Amino acid sequence: MLNAPDPNEPTAIILQSGQKTVEITWADGHQSRYPFEQLRWACPCAHCRGEMGRPGVLARTTTLTAAEQQLVDLQLVGRYALQPRWADGHETGIYSFEDVRAICPCPQCARSRPGG
Ligand SMILES: [Zn+2]
Ligand SMILES: [Zn+2]
């Protein structure tokens, strides 16, 4: 179908600083609410994730500082990804919509994930 909604395309992204969550409504109508902390742990950049067999900083820590989990801004990257800016200055993580949708923490999505 030509005009089928892409489930990985956000139609609304709301930064809820008071609740420390990002609320995303997707083209298929699903609504996801991500705690800032979850998004920071999911940072896909080489610094956080590691590269070429080297562990990233997130693999070597179990706690985040307040600044590391304080989202201050959220930019759209083209039509495919989000780029958050954190209070500690970190902003190299590019989160594709697909990856963000895949980590939706709601019970409905958690149930449909293998091994979840
Ligand atoms: Zn990162
Ligand atoms: Zn969900």
pLDDT 10s digits, 47-80: 999 998 999 999 999 999 999 999 999 999 999 9
User: Shortest CA distance to 86 belongs to which of 102, 101, 64, 103?
Assistant: 64
State the greatest distance between any 2 C-alpha atoms of the chain, in Å, as a whole number: 46
Identify which ligand lies nearest to the alpha carbon of 47: 1
Global pTM reads 0.90
**Ion ligand 2 — residues with CB under 5 Å?**
104, 106, 109
Q: Which ligand is nearest to the CA of 101?
A: 2
Radius of gyration, alpha carbons of the chain: 15
Confidence of residue 2 (pLDDT cuts 50, 70, 90): low
For domain 10-112, which CATH number applies: 3.30.460.80, 3.10.20.30, 3.30.2020.30, 3.40.640.10? 3.30.2020.30
For residue 68, which ligand has an atom nearest its CA? 1
